[in-house]
Structure 1
Amino acid sequence: MNTEQEAELARRVEVHAALADPTRLRVVDLLGAGDAASSELSARLGTPSNLLAHHLKILEAAGVIRRRRSEGDGRRSYWRLVPDVAAAGAEPGIVAVPHLRTPARLVFVCTANTARSHLAAALWRQASRVPADSAGTHPAERIDRRAVAAARRHHLDLPDVRPQRVEDLAPALTEDDLVVTVCDRAHEELGDAAQLHWSVPDPVAAGGAAAFDRAHDEIAGRVRVLAGGLQ
């Protein structure tokens, strides 16, 4: 066995060891469809924060999860599953994709409703027959032109509509809707009203076509996972 093969074997052992604990495996399963802060994971698992921190440290060291500082509350970080855990050394099927009840509608929410939420809704319409809408907590006057250009590059049907407030959705939000925040600030404003969170960096703040393409690609991957997990 050469040095490269030995390193890969050691990598696989590390990942499997990290997953060989019920709490850590539950953390990974919870992060299968969306991101979460440590406090949110602690509440969902009923695990004390100090014990959870220990488990998160092991998963992070093994490359199974990673964290990203919130663009809203800078004191908070969001944990996410590495996009392909199997590539990190785990065998396919070890991580369970959560199965969610099929909602009447998906509502993607960001702050201004100018880019990420519209891209997410457009991508969802390509992937599923479940209706999708988008809204903002503080909508701007119009969709960002760079988001429209990104949609064209990726052959997405993105209607040029006026951004709208979550409260102004028609029909109004009900318990049959699944709210997915694609913006840290929106997630922190909506709290428990958002069932899933995707911590996607703001392409408007970054600027440039590359930032919008990265946002598209990240959202597209998350849409595929969520569409596959709906019952």
Structure 2
Amino acid sequence: MSTERTDGLQRRAALHAALSDPARLQVVDTLTLGDASPSELAEALRMSSNLLAHHLKVLEREGVVGRSRSEGDRRRAYVRLVPGALDGLVSDAVRPAPRVLFVCTANSARSHLAAALWRRASKVPAASAGTHPAEAIARGAVDSAQRHGLDLPAVRPQHLRAVLDPEDLVVTVCDRAHEELDVPIDVHWSIPDPLRTGTPEAFDHALEEIGRRVDLLAPHLVPTS
């Protein structure tokens, strides 16, 4: 047996071992569509912090999940699935949604990019809003959308209160917005703010990461009848 095949078998065995515990499968299912802090995971899964820490350690050791520091509350970290780590193994459950509402702080970049990418990927309607809307969409977001052939409507950023419908499926794409919102949040994507550096690369990276998340979430949502 070749070394490459042996390594592949060992990797598969380690992955199956990491997922053999029902609690760890719950963690993976919860993180399939979005990120969560350890405290949010513990609350969602009704699991003690010590037990959750053990399960996260196992999943991190096998490269299934990773962590990133919040751009809002720097004491907080978000846990996310490592891209590609569980291809073909995550939950394929679907749910109806009348509309997806993407929220960031300024509604000037990430949330607009997410809504535009969503309209290209799903028949479920999409909108965007901000907790502290800016005066206009960021030039960097407009330029990045143009570079990637993405239709980004020329609209003014809007406040969450003017847009939110109680039936919306809310997706926060900004740590600060996620941590300050007092409305139910269905999914969180911890996307770095491209405005921090303002470079074309930062906006392109945000667009790429949001697009990957959109592609993961879209198959799980269907329009309401």
**TM > 0.5 between the two?**
yes
For residues 193 and 114 of structure 2, the distance between their equivalents in structure 1, rounded to whole angstroms, comes to 13
Maintained 8 Å contact 2:108/2:133 = yes
Q: Secondary structure at the match of 1:47?
A: coil
Match of 2:111 among 117, 140, 153: 117
Match of 2:179 among 179, 188, 191: 188
> Counterpart of 2:148?
154
Aligned partner letter, 2:130:
G
Q: Secondary structure at the match of 1:68?
A: strand
For residues 40 and 182 of structure 2, the distance between their equivalents in structure 1, rounded to whole angstroms, comes to 10
Q: Secondary structure at the match of 2:97?
A: coil
> Counterpart of 2:47?
47
For residues 57 and 212 of structure 2, the distance between their equivalents in structure 1, rounded to whole angstroms, comes to 25
Which deviates more, 183-192 or 23-32? 183-192
> Counterpart of 1:85?
85
Q: CA offset at residue 26 of structure 1? A: 0.6
Maintained 8 Å contact 2:64/2:86 = no
Residue by residue over 1:148-172, the C-alpha shift from the partner in whole angstroms, topping out at 9 and shown as x without a partner, is 0111111111012111110122xxx
Q: Secondary structure at the match of 1:193?
A: coil
Q: Secondary structure at the match of 2:152?
A: coil
Q: CA offset at residue 6 of structure 1? A: 3.0
Maintained 8 Å contact 1:32/1:98 = no
Give the aligned length.
Answer: 222
Match of 2:90 among 95, 98, 103: 95
Q: Secondary structure at the match of 2:127?
A: strand
For residues 192 and 55 of structure 1, the distance between their equivalents in structure 2, rounded to whole angstroms, comes to 29
Q: Secondary structure at the match of 1:55?
A: helix
User: Could you tell me the percent identity over the aligned residues?
Assistant: 59
> Counterpart of 1:228?
219
Q: CA offset at residue 191 of structure 1? A: 4.8
Aligned partner letter, 2:84:
D
Structure 2 residue 22 is matched with structure 1 residue 22: yes
Please, which runs of 5 or more residues in structure 1 have no aligned partner? none
Residue by residue over 1:158-216, the C-alpha shift from the partner in whole angstroms, topping out at 9 and shown as x without a partner, is 012111110122xxx23311110000000001155221100011111132111111111
Maintained 8 Å contact 1:33/1:98 = no
Maintained 8 Å contact 2:109/2:141 = yes
For residues 165 and 207 of structure 2, the distance between their equivalents in structure 1, rounded to whole angstroms, comes to 27
For residues 200 and 16 of structure 1, the distance between their equivalents in structure 2, rounded to whole angstroms, comes to 29
Residue by residue over 1:56-92, the C-alpha shift from the partner in whole angstroms, topping out at 9 and shown as x without a partner, is 01001100011111000111111111121246xxxx2
Q: CA offset at residue 140 of structure 1? A: 1.1
> Counterpart of 2:36?
36
Please, which runs of 5 or more residues in structure 2 have no aligned partner? none
Residue by residue over 1:5-39, the C-alpha shift from the partner in whole angstroms, topping out at 9 and shown as x without a partner, is 33333222221110010000010011111111111
CA RMSD of aligned residues (A): 1.4
Q: Secondary structure at the match of 1:36?
A: coil
Aligned partner letter, 2:23:
T
Maintained 8 Å contact 2:124/2:221 = no
For residues 31 and 192 of structure 1, the distance between their equivalents in structure 2, rounded to whole angstroms, comes to 20
> Counterpart of 2:139?
145
> Counterpart of 1:215?
206
